[in-house]
């Protein structure tokens, strides 16, 4: 059987045989190179056939070896490694290295990578002046996005994207500094003095220190909460060609420096449809308020009054594996932080929904946002920080996508086509003759 697709154009009765390309898993999706669609023409002057796909929901914009998702089976893997194994056995910086460079590091490589990241966490002192220019009530994500773009002015050599050593230096800087930018944005929003990085702490521990340190000589993070935050970072490193990854690749395809490209990706994440879903879950749980209100709320969802937030996913048609990991970790968090009635409501809501044919038949299973917001809140993070917390680990994934894009010979500057539906040619009418 030939790996081709034969198309009959009923306009011309001509046949076109188009090649089919496959990835690692042929059953996961075969693709027709879009350039071959151009061969299908109604006449010699015809531009050729385009694919019309709003939102790129069925378009492969690239070939990638970074992340694999099987939404039907609830599978998420970074570079082939199951997310469950990485969350249990690894740490964020090791997973960031894996995601960026394709292989788990040796001990020597990990030690060097950890050292390099740790010693790039400081920001230029002039960044304080930039932070001070924001309103006292500026949203932390807005400050984060702006600061990322501003960092490009401190490292003008970053525009030399074809130099591997320069690229690596910017990758190290960005992975290291996003935590500091995020923490300073939070401190500014609270009117608190900025806290400098503590290079003796882990990546997650250092971030907690920059967030919450007050008058103590040295901040000592709770080891359980430090571990939970590290796992949250691992779970959010990458998620294939989502909106923000696509933005990173699109802007990066113009050969913009990685700071500006990352700022664009973070801007995409700032949108509530992408990075704000866990906030919507918290609002829902507060609205439910009590366990006895759950059945009535479920009935209103089924009646179409509103959606069940934190359930369902564009990709996953099964239980989101990240949600399963967080569900198991949540009780350990609350042993430290104290009980939270919203966790009990969430667990009972999940139980009822997963036993209801309405949700099961629609493949509405809990996603990562269902539990992440509850845990973030337990860790003391305000809701405004949720998208920023998403962006910190996703920086490694965005940079992996950017690096892969630059090294892919098939890639060109992003330039989608359109189906034009406007006017045909019109002659200009003087203003006095216009009706």
User: Which are the catalytic amino acids?
Assistant: 274, 313, 369
257 alpha-carbon distance from chain centroid: 19
Rg (CA), the chain: 24
Nearest to 273 by CA among 309, 320, 304, 300: 309
* C-alpha span between 266 and 248 (Å, rounded): 9
Q: Judge whether 211 and 189 are in contact, CB under 8 Å.
A: no
- Give residue for tokens 């996961």: 28
* Dihedral (Cα; 405, 406, 412, 418), 10-degree rounding: 40
Cβ atoms 371, 326 nearer than 8 A = yes
- The three state secondary structure string of the chain is CCCEEEEEECCCCEEEEEECECCCCHHHCCECCHHHHCCCCCCCCCCCCCCCCHHHCCCCCCCCCCEEEECCCCEEEECCEEHHHHHHHCCHHHHHHHHHHCCCCCHHHHHHHHHHHHCCCCCCCHHHHHHHCCCCCCCHHHHHHHHHHHHCCCCHHHHCCCCHHHHHHHHHHHHHHHHHHHHHHHHHHCCCCCCCCCCCCCHHHHHHHHHHCCCCCCCCCCHHHHHHHHHHHHHCCCCCCCHHHHHHHHHHCCCCCHHHHHHHHHHHHHCHHHHCHHHHHHHHHHHHCCHHHHHHHHHHHHCCCCCCCCECCCCCCCCCHHHHHHHHHHHHHHHHHCCCHHHHHHHHHHHHHHCCHHHHHCCCCECHHHHHHHHHHHCCCCHHHHHHHHHHHHHHHHHHHHHHHHCCCCCCCCCCCCCCCCCCCCCCCCHHHCC
Chain-centre distance for alpha carbon 276:
11
């Amino acid at each position: 059987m030939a790996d081709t697709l034969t198309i009959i154009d009923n306009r011309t009765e001509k046949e076109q045989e188009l090649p089919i390309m496959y990835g690692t898993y042929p059953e996961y999706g075969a693709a027709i190179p879009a350039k071959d669609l151009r061969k299908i023409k109604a006449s010699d002057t015809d531009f050729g056939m385009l694919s019309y796909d709003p939102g790129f929901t069925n378009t492969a914009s690239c070939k990638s070896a970074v992340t694999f998702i099987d939404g039907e089976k609830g599978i998420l893997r970074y570079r082939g490694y199951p997310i469950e194994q990485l969350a249990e056995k690894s740490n964020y910086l090791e997973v960031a290295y894996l995601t960026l460079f394709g292989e788990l590091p040796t001990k020597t490589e990990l030690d060097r990578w950890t050292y390099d990241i740790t010693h790039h966490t400081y920001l230029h002192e002039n960044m304080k002046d930039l932070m001070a220019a924001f309103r006292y009530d500026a949203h932390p994500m807005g400050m984060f996005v702006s600061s990322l773009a501003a960092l490009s002015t401190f490292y003008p050599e970053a525009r030399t994207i074809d130099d591997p050593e320069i690229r690596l230096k910017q990758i190290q800087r960005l992975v290291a500094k996003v935590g500091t930018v995020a923490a300073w944005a939070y401190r500014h929003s609270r009117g608190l003095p900025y806290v400098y990085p503590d290079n003796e702490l882990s990546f997650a521990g250092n971030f907690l220190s920059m967030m919450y340190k007050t008058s103590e000589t040295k901040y000592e993070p709770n080891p359980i909460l430090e571990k939970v935050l590290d796992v949250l970072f691992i779970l959010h490193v990458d998620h294939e060609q989502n909106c923000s990854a696509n933005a990173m690749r699109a802007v990066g395809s113009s050969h913009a420096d990685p700071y500006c490209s990352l700022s664009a990706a973070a801007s995409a994440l700032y949108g509530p449809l992408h990075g704000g879903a866990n906030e919507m879950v918290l609002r829902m749980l507060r609205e439910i308020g009590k366990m006895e209100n759950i059945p009535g709320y479920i009935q209103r969802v089924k009646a179409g009054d509103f959606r069940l937030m934190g359930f369902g996913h564009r990709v996953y048609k099964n239980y989101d594996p990240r949600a399963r990991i967080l569900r198991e970790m949540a009780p350990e968090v609350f042993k430290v932080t104290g009980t939270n009635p919203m966790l009990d409501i969430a667990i009972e809501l999940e139980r009822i929904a997963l036993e209801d044919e309405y949700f099961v038949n629609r493949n509405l299973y809990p996603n990562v946002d269902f539990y992440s917001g509850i845990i973030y809140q337990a860790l003391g993070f305000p809701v405004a920080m949720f998208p920023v917390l998403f962006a910190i680990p996703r920086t490694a994934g965005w940079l992996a996508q950017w690096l892969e894009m630059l090294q892919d010979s098939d890639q060109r500057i992003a330039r989608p086509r359109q189906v034009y539906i406007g006017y045909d040619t019109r002659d200009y009418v003087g203003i006095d003759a216009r009706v």
